[in-house]
Amino acid sequence: MENSSGQGPGSEVPIEIRRWNWAAFFFNWIWGLGNSVYISLLMFIPGVNLIIPFVLGAKGSTWAWQNQKWESVEAFRREQRMWLIIGFSIILGFALFISGFVYFIGSIMKSSDAYQISLDQIQNHPQVIETLGKPIEAGFFVSGSVSIQNSTGNADISYNIEGPKATGKAYVEANKEKGQWLFQSIVVEVNPDGQRIVLVGD
């Protein structure tokens, strides 16, 4: 068959091209700009953007073949595979970067005295032990913030805890003055009933 690519709407499209295009489905408007399929910009219209990925998945290859000159069918298919590989590689890289960043921040907060002291108090508090059981372990993630400047600082953090009997969440507020952490609040909220065990504070 004669190479009919780039001849515009209505031109004949090889059967090998008329297939579902995963690159167009997943990367829609970005893929559209790179393949001269400008209908993909409808992704920016609320409501329509729910449909466009499926339209591009079904018809994207046909439109890309008609709108742009390609060396051959194989060259076209090779390019679409590259879109898919590169696109997912970027997504995977971004996900790994975010995961690494979250892990790094969590590690910093876990290494703080505010976290370590509060966890020690929770693990040795009689009411918490009675409710959650023993041993009590902390979850992987720590949310909130810890700020330290020389001998002063503040912490407002929360983290999950778990024992043999139940799980819960610890909420901690503290200030550092003259190198000493002073806790305004250490509260454990037990799942699932929301029972609150106050270790420090009102």
Write the secondary structure of 102-143 as one string of H (helix), E (strand) and C (coil): HHHHHHHHHCCHHHHHHHHHHHCCHHHHHHHCCCCEEEEEEE
- The pLDDT of residue 106 is 77
Would you say residue 14 lies in a domain?
A: no
Same domain, 94 and 115: no
Give the pLDDT of residue 7: 93
Query: Which DSSP string do the residues of 148-179 spell out, in sequence order?
Result: EETTEEEEEEEEEEE-SS-EEEEEEEEEEETT
To which residue do tokens 């679409």 refer?
80
Same domain? For 175 and 122 the reply is: yes
Determine the pLDDT at residue 1.
Answer: 63
Model-level pTM? 0.60
**What range does the domain containing 137 cover?**
111-200
At residue 179, the pLDDT reads 85
Rounded Cα distance between 145 and 135, Å, is 26
Q: Report the amino acid identity of residue 177.
A: E
Are 144 and 172 within one domain? yes
Indicate if 93 and 162 belong to the same structural domain: no
75 lies in some domain: yes
Together in a domain, 59 and 89? yes
Kindly state whether residues 100 and 137 are assigned to the same domain: no
Q: How far apart are CA 116 and CA 109, in angstroms?
A: 9
In this structure, is the dihedral angle defined by the CA atoms of residues 112, 155, 185 and 99, taken in order, positive or negative? negative
* Domain assignment of residue 196, yes or no: yes
Q: Is there a single domain that holds both residue 165 and residue 186?
A: yes
Q: Is position 3 within any domain?
A: no
Identify whether 5 is part of a domain: no
Does residue 192 fall inside a structural domain? yes
State the pLDDT at residue 101.
86
pLDDT mean values, one per 10 residues, the chain (202 residues): 87 93 95 95 95 96 95 94 94 92 82 92 95 93 88 93 95 92 94 91 76
135 found inside a domain: yes
Q: How many domains does the chain have?
A: 2
Q: Examine residue 92 and state whether it is found in any structural domain, yes or no.
A: yes
| Residue 2: predicted pLDDT | 81
The contacts of residue 145 (CB under 8 Å, 6+ apart) are 109, 155, 156, 157
Q: Would you state the pLDDT for residue 32?
A: 95
